[in-house]
Amino acid sequence: MTKADLIEKMADEAGISKAAAGTALDSFIGGIKKALKKGTKVTLVGFGTFSVSKRKARKGRNPRTGETINIKAAKVPKFTSGKALKEAIK
């Protein structure tokens, strides 16, 4: 499902225009991004939790040359699905 498909489904089920559904979806995504940037978890009961995970610096290998490279530490987004979501897809 693409973003456009999701917007269309939201508009149909909520009885609103596609433009309003698109704005709502963009606002939802933006809110999650802002919260994660601050380091705050976003929990949607029954769906899951968005959080930020820290990855340590590590050594890697260039697959073409075999040369060892250093990979910097990074913050990465993480999603953990909730119990209801896990059960819904069984």
| Percent of the chain topping pLDDT 90 | 99
What number of residues does the chain have? 90
User: Mean per-residue pLDDT for 2-30?
Assistant: 97
Report the 10 Å Cβ neighbour count for 21: 19
Q: pLDDT digit string (tens) for 44-65?
A: 999 999 999 999 999 999 999 9
Q: pLDDT digit string (tens) for 13-22?
A: 999 999 999 9
Global pTM? 0.80
Which amino acid type is present at position 36? L
Between the two ends of the chain, the Cα-to-Cα distance in Å is 19
